[in-house]
A and B are shown apart, each in its own frame.
Chain A
Amino acid sequence: SQQGEEDPQALSIQEGENATMNCSYKTSINNLQWYRQNSGRGLVHLILIRSNEREKHSGRLRVTLDTSKKSSSLLITASRAADTASYFCATGGTGANSKLTFGKGITLSVRP
């Protein structure tokens, strides 16, 4: 069954603006990850935040995690046209052989 639910499903912004994407999940997690997928390509890992962390930064990316609300957000600051892609959140479970479960994805369009 699907674990992560991202919103919005589609987001269109102007270059230079910030983009905020949200993800909600249902069960206990070990970590939450964000991936990017450019059209026709594979997924690229962006950032991983563990269940005992609340915020993490990587370059123009900022991820927050609220385990009490079972939600996460990905903020991309000063967006660029090259950030146009689909973004997925994925949750890693707590079991020894847990799997990565992906949400439906958010399509981000950054207008030049």
Chain B
Amino acid sequence: DTAVSQTPKYLVTQMGNDKSIKCEQNLGHDTMYWYKQDSKKFLKIMFSYNNKELIINETVPNRFSPKSPDKAHLNLHINSLELGDSAVYFCASSQLTRTEAFFGQGTRLTVV
């Protein structure tokens, strides 16, 4: 069984559109994250949720809005997509913030 699954795996969309990426974890973890990996493979944290509560919100445009309906899900909604949003977005989860993180397979977003 997949521990952290995110959908879709690939997303190609036009500038200005709104899109969502879904993430689910079946590990019983209490903390979930969204990371963005750019073309140089640099991984930057965007958001972190603990028990459905936002605990980390890095300097991310407010066009990005995370939503955590329950502990097992953390979705990412992006409004008014821009070319610079093209990247691979990874969802991850961990038990508390001091243990190993489990990553999803990533969503490659391409904005054209």
Residues of A at the B interface (CB closer than 8 Å) are 2, 30-31, 33, 35, 37, 41-45, 48, 86, 88, 90, 92-93, 96-102, 104-105
B62 close to chain A: CB less than 8 A: no
User: Which residues of chain B come closer than 8 Å to A93, judged between CB atoms?
Assistant: 97
- A-B CB contacts (within 8 Å), total count: 61
17 A-B pairs (CB sep. < 8 Å):
A31-B98, A33-B100, A33-B101, A42-B4, A43-B101, A48-B99, A92-B97, A93-B97, A98-B97, A99-B33, A99-B56, A100-B97, A102-B35, A102-B43, A102-B44, A104-B42, A105-B43
Cβ-defined contact, B43 with A99, below 8 A: no
Chain B nearest CB from A49 CB (Å) reads: 11
Interface range for B: 20 to 34
